[in-house]
A and B are shown apart, each in its own frame.
Chain A
């Protein structure tokens, strides 16, 4: 069964600190992995997308890694800001359909305190 599991479920950190969010998946055949940021009451916004051949991708203070062998990804946030408080969702796409089937994790709820 194709699944995406994220950990931790929630995380609280102080402003300025770094943190790392984890994503494990069983989706096959694998096409790509994305990390989305979803602010409360808003739609998800894409942060990074990585294909099978990419093992790291950065977007400002966000750095995503991918290990396609172990089917694990991480999202590292550097020097956190209050505006980083949001849900971070790991999304994996398979190559098995023309629709571009997406499998969503439940997200990690990050809270940054001043």
Chain B
């Protein structure tokens, strides 16, 4: 099983609150990713990082922001949560092989509900 962790696993929060979803990996992977997944739907890439101080937006527009100050840590922040942000957020990392077909390892996910 991959050594990638996400906290919290479940979060219920009111509209307008600021939240940070944590993601950490102990595998020394350079590349890290955040995906958003709604029930019965495909995963959508919202942010990725090639390494420290590198962050890029993914295919799905998101009001969240990310940072990568340390290799092992890739937190996602929502400054003002809204009900439309209710979803499952999955963090992943991949090995620094330099190949396009890097294997991605996923964390257990954070189920976010904004009331």
Contact = CB atoms under 8 A, between A and B. Distances in A.
Q: Do A and B come from one complex?
A: yes
Interface residues of A, number: 27
B100 A94 contact: yes
B29 to A, nearest CB: 12
Given A41-B111, A43-B106, A93 B100 contact: yes
A105 B9 CA distance: 24
Nearest to B104: A102
Q: How many interface residues does chain B have, given as a range?
A: 20 to 34
A80 B56 CA distance: 41
Nearest to A29: B100
B74 interface: no
A104 to B, nearest CB: 4
A100 B109 contact: no
A107 to B, nearest CB: 7
Contacts of B4: 43
B13 interface: no
A95 interface: yes
A50 to B, nearest CB: 10
9 closest residue pairs by CB, A with B: A43-B106, A104-B42, A104-B43, A100-B100, A32-B101, A100-B102, A106-B42, A31-B101, A44-B106
Given A98-B100, A104-B43, 20 more contacts: A41-B9, A41-B108, A41-B111, A43-B108, A43-B109, A44-B43, A44-B90, A45-B1, A46-B105, A89-B42, A97-B100, A100-B100, A102-B45, A102-B104, A104-B42, A104-B44, A106-B41, A106-B42, A107-B42, A109-B40
